[in-house]
């Protein structure tokens, strides 16, 4: 469950890292499938509202939660974001699913809010004792050429790099 960074905003859906993940899993003959329930513009509140029906419909064994970027870009209260992410992790676990929380960073011009925003992901992962990918866009963040003209959304060329960065954090959950 994610936002535009996982929904493939501005690129073909089959180029987005979740689609590449599905191909990688199939190629390794792992007994998993991928349902990308990411929506462009999604906030943690929206993800929280959609999670229960998704758990019932898909009955996942693993959930990657890649939400929070829109909360941060909109300057929403961080306690609400943390509450939403905590509730999502708790619900996912109650359904029997393992969780990988994918953190995100904000541009430095967001000042102290950006620092607290990013540290929220690590705090939640420690409290919940869940897997954490510290920064989803880490391998591409400093390379302008990996972003579309809006400077926010990764290009198709960046998607394999995002997947390869995420894979080591996901792999222990696949066992």
Q: Can you give the pLDDT at residue 71?
A: 98
Region 28-49: mean pLDDT is 97
Q: Can you give the pLDDT at residue 175?
A: 82
How many folded domains does the chain comprise? 1
Question: CB–CB of 100/133 below 8 Å?
Answer: yes
Active site residue 153: yes
Domain that includes residue 14, residue range: 4-174
Catalytic site residue from 40, 71, 153, 165:
153
Instruction: Please report which residue ranges of the chain form alpha helices under DSSP H.
Output: 4-7, 17-27, 44-58, 69-73, 78-94, 112-128, 159-170
Active site residue 118: no
Give the CA count within 13 Å in the CB-facing half-sphere of 83: 8
Catalytic site residue from 4, 6, 38, 120:
4
Q: Which two tokens stand for residue 18?
A: 């979740």
Q: What pLDDT, in 10s, does the model give residues 105-163?
A: 999 999 999 999 999 999 999 999 999 999 999 999 999 999 999 999 999 999 999 99
CATH of the domain at 157: 3.40.50.1110
Q: Can you give the pLDDT at residue 149?
A: 97
Q: How far apart are CA 170 and CA 175, in angstroms?
A: 10
Q: What pLDDT, in 10s, does the model give residues 65-105?
A: 999 999 999 999 999 999 999 999 999 999 999 999 999 99
Cite the beta strand spans of the chain per DSSP E.
Answer: 62-65, 98-102, 131-133
Active site residue 150: yes
Q: How far apart are CA 140 and CA 56, in angstroms?
A: 35
């Amino acid at each position: 469950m994610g936002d535009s960074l996982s929904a493939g905003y501005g690129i073909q859906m089959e180029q987005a890292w979740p689609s590449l993940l599905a191909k990688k899993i199939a190629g390794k003959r792992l007994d998993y499938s991928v349902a990308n329930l990411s929506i462009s513009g999604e906030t943690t509140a929206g993800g929280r509202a959609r999670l229960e029906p998704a758990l019932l419909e898909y009955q996942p064994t693993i959930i990657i939660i890649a939400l929070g970027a829109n909360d941060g870009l909109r300057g929403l209260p961080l306690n609400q974001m943390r509450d939403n992410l905590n509730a999502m992790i708790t619900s996912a676990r109650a359904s029997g699913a393992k969780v990988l929380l994918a953190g995100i960073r904000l541009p430095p011009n967001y000042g102290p809010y950006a620092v607290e925003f990013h540290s929220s992901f690590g705090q939640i992962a420690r409290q919940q004792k869940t897997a954490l990918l510290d920064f989803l866009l880490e391998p591409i963040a400093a390379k302008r050429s990996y972003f579309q003209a809006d400077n926010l959304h990764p290009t198709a060329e960046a998607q394999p790099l995002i997947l390869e960065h995420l894979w080591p954090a996901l792999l222990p959950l696949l066992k």
